[in-house]
Amino acid sequence: MLTIDVVSDVVCPWCFIGKRRLEEALALYARSHPEAEAPRVTWHPFQLNPDLPAEGVDRPEYYRKKFGDRVGEIVDRVRGAGREVGIDFRFEAIERQPNTLAAHAVIGQAADEGKQDAAVEALFRAFFLDGVDLTDAANLKSVAASAGLSPERVDAVLASDAARAHIASEDEAARRIGVQGVPFFIFNRRLAVSGAQPAEVLVEAMRQAEAGD
């Protein structure tokens, strides 16, 4: 079975775009490999802003400090790329830029429940389409429930220092292998593709990883 490891952050718009392009690539792969087992996709944490406080920061101010006069240009570019894959980003709805350690802990719990893709999708949509404040535990619990996760298990993981420490260690492991930006795709643990590349590029990476090129 082909394995695809995706290093991502839920507050990265290019990661949301990359998820859509990966979905397109998986559909292309399924059509060209009708007898093959579907690739196994696993999502791994990467924090774009690991030093942010747990309560997050004001999003507009964060963007002003990070991008300065280029904010409008950058936002327009991302909006355009989003529209190409059916994402209507609503950046104006986002008030808080969160520390994503807790959100990644929820994604880790989702993997244990076999619902990781649903959880990642729900978090992307909540943040980028609905402007949900992901610093709020009740919001994270609600988003997780919409993806079918057990509320009791989500409560437990959000209260777990060990779960957060595990996410932090995975983040550090990604940086040690050279991940500097996300999304970052690893095929069969041997071939890597960085960035929200077109579906055709991802399909070619799948082919090379399977062939051992």
Give every CB contact of residue 185 below 8 A, 6+ residues apart in sequence. 4, 5, 6, 7, 18, 22, 192, 193, 194, 197, 202, 205
- The tens-digit pLDDT sequence of the chain (213 residues) is 999 999 999 999 999 999 999 999 999 999 999 999 999 999 999 999 999 999 999 999 999 999 999 999 999 999 999 999 999 999 999 999 999 999 999 999 999 999 999 999 999 999 999 999 999 999 999 999 999 999 999 999 999 999 999 999 999 999 999 999 999 999 999 999 999 999 999 999 999 999 986
Q: From CA 128, how far away is CA 79, in angstroms rounded?
A: 11
Q: From CA 88, how far away is CA 80, in angstroms rounded?
A: 9
Judged on CB neighbours under 10 Å (0-12, 13-18, 19+), 159 is: exposed
Classify domain 3-211 at the CATH topology level.
Glutaredoxin (3.40.30)
Question: What was the pLDDT predicted at 213?
Answer: 64
Question: What was the pLDDT predicted at 212?
Answer: 80
In 9-98, beta strands by DSSP E: 40-45, 57-58, 96-97
* pTM given for the model: 0.96
